[in-house]
Amino acid sequence: MERRDFVKLCAGSAAAASLPTPAEAYSLKARLHKRTRLVDERGAPFRLASMKTGVNYVFDYPFASTPCFLLRLASPATGGIDLQTEAGGTYRWDGGVGPQRNVVSFSAICAHKLTYPTRQVSFIGYRDRPSAASSTGKVITCCSDRSVYDPAAGARVVAGPAPQPLATILLEHGGKRDELFAIGTLGGEMFDQFFQRFGFRLELEMGSRARDTVAADSVVREMSRYSAQWAQC
Ligand code: FES
């Protein structure tokens, strides 16, 4: 069997030495969920080589109803960035996967009031940087209250009211096979709050499957094929 020559976590756990550390701060560890292969809409492996730079891809993980962004950035994301959740959990984001370390993934549930891409419409997405945000490169913007997250910096908040970064989705890249796997999360997960607020609606749409963990495979779609409408702001 071909030796898997890759395994690169998007993030590891470490104390955030450079952040102002409240007395109650604590170090967050990665949470491993089901190892899920990312596939295209035909069920074939979704290969990194097929990813277009700057396109907003979406897949569901770690639950069948919780969307995540998958992005190929224009520049390497080398990580080493210390982040903190609203509750004081600290962690280090170790950057992207792939040969150029520019493939990153984050939960698409806004850390402010849980806006997320639905099948009907998405108010949150990867777009050109608004003038309020410094530096260059595309960002993840939530049109609900204009929070802006920088995907090249672990989805830290660069503008708006969001109290913490988007949760990181941990990826593996399968070297010669060029496959991508989601394996876990790191940071401020919002899944409990998400199901509390939207569980009834999700079950109407998806039945009991809404709270299931994803299957062995999860389908990656461009945002335009995940949500019928993409709201601009
Ligand atoms: S819900 Fe996203 S900024 Fe308020």
CA of 111 to the centre of ligand 1 (A): 7
Measure Cα distances from 41 to 123, 200, 219, 222 in Å: 23, 27, 6, 10
- 206 burial type by CB count under 10 A (0-12 exposed, 13-18 middle, 19+ buried): middle
| 3-state SS, residue 50 | helix
CA of 6 to the centre of ligand 1 (A): 36
Domain ranges of the chain: 11-224
Q: Using pLDDT thresholds of 50, 70 and 90, give the confidence band for residue 15.
A: very low
Q: What's the pLDDT score for residue 24?
A: 65
Topology given in CATH for the domain delimited by 11-224: Rieske Iron-sulfur Protein (2.102.10)
pLDDT digits (tens, 9 = 90+) for 169-199: 999 999 889 999 999 999 999 999 999 999 9
What is the average pLDDT across 75-101? 95
CA of 123 to the centre of ligand 1 (A): 9
Is 162's C-beta closer than 6 angstroms to any atom of ligand 1? yes
Ligand 1 atom having least distance to the Cα of 145: 3
Peptide bond into 62 cis (omega under 30): yes
Is 148's C-beta closer than 6 angstroms to any atom of ligand 1? no
Mean pLDDT of the chain: 88
Q: What's the pLDDT score for residue 32?
A: 95
Please indicate whether residue 210 or residue 4 has the higher confidence score (pLDDT).
210
CA of 179 to the centre of ligand 1 (A): 32
Q: Using pLDDT thresholds of 50, 70 and 90, give the confidence band for residue 75.
A: very high
Q: What's the pLDDT score for residue 233?
A: 84
